[in-house]
Amino acid sequence: MTTSAPMDTKRQIPHGETLVDVKGLRMYFPVTAGLLIQRKIADVRAVDGLDFQVKSGETLGLVGESGCGKSTTGRAVLQLYRPTAGTVNFAGTELTQLKGGDLRRFRRRMQMIFQDPFSSLNPRMSVAQIIGEPLAIHGLYKGAERRDRIQYIMQAVGLNPVFARRFPHEFSGGQRQRIGIGRALAVEPDFIVCDEPVSALDVSIQAQVINLLEDLQGEFGLTYLFIAHDLAVVRHISDRVAVMYLGKMMELADSNELYENPLHPYTKALLSAVPITDPEVERQRERIILTGDVPSPLRPPSGCVFNTRCPIAVDECRERVPDWREHIPGHWVACHRV
């Protein structure tokens, strides 16, 4: 009996070239009914046909209202959720086709930082055990080398190695998030999905964690998909920004381009809600108030999913789904009115 050779997961992508290429990504969750015999009656369309790329060495910000599918997108890219449809190409390898050991080997290159820095950590494990667990799973470092690696990672994320035997409940929220970052960093990944890593922290601590992520990106050559709903935070850390609404991508552009020249009415509404420190500018700018509630992903509107709340919607918006198109080089939008 012959066995196939292990897949080569070490292909390196030059800085600035596409590391993650997502096409037609869909993630539907079935809704079932019935007491004895369960049958599917509908789908929750959490992610509904996304196309985007993440370039090596960059930070792509992903923003939108709660429930729009941001976190689901991050998990589907990492194959924590197996997508309903679409492709996720990572460094030249199609992840949706991988299973078992082949997918596990790729997980070393793809990690995640979770939103809640307490529930994402095992309360029965010490810091050394938490950071050392992925090293054990992937068979990296042994004995003294593993202890040295754990101490090195703790120092890199701003934790004193003396605290290695302490447990998560003995740390503050910001320190717990540093433990989570250290766990993701331990196996030397190329790509990290940051799922709202600062939203559960105090404002004073948020800046520290954001600065830490930026420092680690420069030191270790990391690529981030940074998920958040705070547009000010996203602008600070992101090279490019993508805007989602009800499972679909509305707009994607370089950070400065998006904030200075938003094209989609939903993006304009989001940016109009961001506070400005200059009182004169704050008084003079237009505030866009969206009416109505976000529709259910169980029954999204026909045509453009934003048409029920859009202040400039026309009949075409209600009848036909807008194309995802490049309006100007590097600036993508899905809107009939642009």
Task: Kindly write down the DSSP assignment for every residue of 280-302, as one continuous string.
Answer: HHHHHSPPPPPPS-PPPTTSPPS
What's the pLDDT tens digit per position in 288-320? 888 888 899 999 999 999 999 999 999 999 999
Q: Are 105 and 7 in contact (CB under 8 A)?
A: yes
Mean of the pLDDT values across residues 194-199? 93
Residue 37, CA distances (Å) to 16, 32, 40, 95 in order: 51, 9, 10, 34
- The pLDDT score that the predictor gives to residue 87 is 97
Inter-axis angle of helices 173-185 and 203-220, nearest 10: 20
pLDDT tens by residue, 72-91: 999 999 999 999 999 999 99
DSSP state at residue 7: P
Contact 127, 166 (CB under 8 A): yes
Q: How far apart, in whole angstroms, are the C-alpha atoms of residue 204 and residue 18? A: 34
Helix extents (H) in the chain:
70-77, 100-107, 127-137, 143-156, 173-185, 203-220, 231-237, 255-260, 265-272, 279-284, 315-319
Q: Determine the pLDDT at residue 4.
A: 41
pLDDT of residue 171: 94
In this predicted structure, the answer to whether residue 9 has a pLDDT above a threshold of 80 is no
- The residues, ordered by sequence, that sit 6+ positions from 206 with a Cβ below 8 Å of its Cβ are 198, 233
CATH number for region 19-31+42-55+62-109+238-333? 3.40.50.300
Q: Which amino acid is at 114?
A: F
Per the prediction, the chain carries an average pLDDT of 91
C-alpha atoms less than 13 angstroms from C-alpha of 246 in its C-beta half-sphere: 18
Residues 6+ apart with CB under 8 A from 85: 24, 25, 26
**Looking at 29-43, 44-58, 90-104, 150-164, which range is the least confident one?**
29-43
Q: Which residue has the higher pLDDT, 9 or 242?
A: 242
Q: What confidence tens digit (pLDDT) does each residue in 172-187 have?
A: 999 999 999 999 999 9
Predicted confidence band of residue 200 (pLDDT cuts 50, 70, 90): confident
pLDDT tens figures, 211-250: 999 999 999 999 999 999 888 889 989 999 999 999 999 9
For the residues 259-281, what does the mean pLDDT come to? 85
The DSSP 8-state label assigned to residue 40 in this structure reads E
Q: Phi and psi for 38 in degrees, rounded to 5?
A: -80, 130
